[in-house]
Amino acid sequence: MADNEPSHKDFQEWMVTKALAAHLGTKNNEKPERMAWLFDLDVRTPAGISKLKEMCGFGWEAGEILGGAELPFKDADRGNLSSDDFRKYLTITPDFRYWTKKDGKHLIVEAKGTPKPIGQRDHVQAERYFTYLRDCGHKGAVVYFAPNPEVWLDWLAKIPKQSDFRFGVVDLTSQVVPKVANELLRVVGEALVQTADLLKEALRFSKTG
């Protein structure tokens, strides 16, 4: 790897997710130009490159599109499911999700920081996203933001979907990280400060132990 090439292990995924959320703006106070950028990202799919807005069937429109970062599913999201059947989805919290007010189109975004999926945990998580869309009767797409998009796309193609939902991968390293660099700097800085504080506390206890 050349010195100027980005590493797939540069940042933990929670750091990038937090930085992206800050970049886009808070719920109900989103930054329109940045939301437009998000929905215009290139997504690698089995059929080629598509825009994110083409994948989910809608683009950003303030007041018409709901959603944001780390929003757990609630009863209003259950669609065709009964309250009892919907309970199994209440523990799911995608990194980002957006939906239209009128016609039930949904976008689920999951960010990953590893160059390839990690075992059964990632498999179960992806399968539940597709199952949620199917069981609730929603239209939409599941898109991953990840390094090594070819590897993640090949893996996603093998996840049982039981319906014709769109799916794809955005290259996290080349498309997202450079755009949120300022926010990422703050997130990493805060993490370093917290780590330094914990280190000081650990040293204090080591001297008294």
Q: Domain locations in the chain?
A: 13-208
Give the burial string for 56-73 (b: 16+ CB within 10 Å, else e): bebbbeeeebebbbebeb
- What confidence tens digit (pLDDT) does each residue in 115-129 have? 999 889 999 999 999
Note the pLDDT of residue 193: 78
Task: State residue 208's pLDDT score.
Answer: 57
Is the Cβ–Cβ distance between 177 and 16 less than 8 Å? yes
pLDDT of residue 65: 94
pLDDT at 161: 80
Query: Rg (Cα) of the chain, in Å, rounded?
Result: 19
Nearest-angstrom CA–CA distance, 194 and 132: 37
Q: What is the pLDDT of residue 205?
A: 55
Residue 182, C-beta contacts closer than 8 angstroms, at least 6 positions apart: 23
Whole-number pLDDT of residue 11: 65
Extract the residue ranges of the chain whose pLDDT is less than 50: 1-9
Cβ atoms within 10 Å of 87's Cβ, excluding its own:
12
The whole-model pTM stands at 0.86
pLDDT given at position 209: 52
